Amino acid sequence: MKKVLLFVLILSAPVWAQKDISVGAFGGFNLPILQSDAGAGSDFGVKAKFSPIPMLAAAAFFESRTFGEASKEVGGVEHTIDGGNVTSFGVEGLIGNTGGGSGPHFYFFAGISSYKWTRDYWEDLTEVGFHIGPGFEMVFPAKIGLELRAKLEIVPTDGGGSRKNGIILVGANYHIGLM
């Protein structure tokens, strides 16, 4: 753990004095993990991030995603199940190189969100979801950053189960550096 923390500190050294606000949009790929009632789909959203100190940041986001259809055999007959749509909004904390100075920025994040899944002929699922993952952003001198994130989302459900999703996101952010 000490080596990881040292690695993150080294990567963040160029922007230790940089405070930052950024806004951005993202899109990507949503893959349900160990779920047979939904297929892969798309994901897009918007976020705003505030980094009051160089190694820590907080972000608020809104996400909308789709799940693809799935096939299920019931009584020897193949049925197609609508994958449905998810809306999610929440907050996350980031640790690592989270500022807006030019160059590469590597960080880790963890968050909590309100998760609502709707689909035809099923009762809506509204729960609190949790997610974690790594992120990387390359910020250019024009204050535009290109970002790549991977997250594992877990949404506990009634009865002790959970919905799990792997999500890969690519986005663009505009940074407003603050001194």
pLDDT digits (tens, 9 = 90+) for 76-103: 888 888 888 999 999 999 999 887 788 8
CB-based contacts of 57, cutoff 8 Å, min separation 6: 20, 49, 50, 51, 93, 94, 98, 99, 107
Q: Is the pLDDT of residue 157 over 80?
A: yes
Instruction: Match domain 2-178 to its CATH number in 2.70.98.90, 3.30.360.10, 2.102.10.10, 2.40.160.20.
Output: 2.40.160.20
CB-facing half-sphere around the CA of 51: CA atoms within 13 A: 29
102/138 Cα distance (integer angstroms): 7
Which H, E and C letters describe 97-163, residue by residue?
CCCCCCEEEEEEEEEEEEEEEECCCCCCEEEEEEEEEEEEEEECCCCEEEEEEEEEEEEECHHHCEE
99/133 Cα distance (integer angstroms): 18
Q: Is the pLDDT of residue 124 over 50?
A: yes
pLDDT of residue 16: 47
The residue assigned the tokens 């009584």 is: 75
Whether residue 30 contacts residue 38, with contact meaning beta carbons closer than 8 Å, is answered with no
pLDDT of residue 109: 97
Share of the chain above pLDDT 90, in %: 54
**Domain coordinates of the chain in residue numbers?**
2-178
Neighbours of 86 (CB within 10 A): 25
Q: Is the pLDDT of residue 15 over 50?
A: no
Stretch 111-135: mean pLDDT: 91
Enter the tokens of residue 167: 């999500």
Reported as a pLDDT band with limits 50, 70 and 90, residue 27 is very high
Stretch 8-26: mean pLDDT: 69
pLDDT of residue 177: 73
100/173 Cα distance (integer angstroms): 10
pLDDT of residue 144: 93
153/109 Cα distance (integer angstroms): 12
Reported as a pLDDT band with limits 50, 70 and 90, residue 4 is low
pLDDT of residue 46: 98
Reported as a pLDDT band with limits 50, 70 and 90, residue 178 is low
More confident residue, 125 or 63: 63
The residue assigned the tokens 């160089």 is: 54
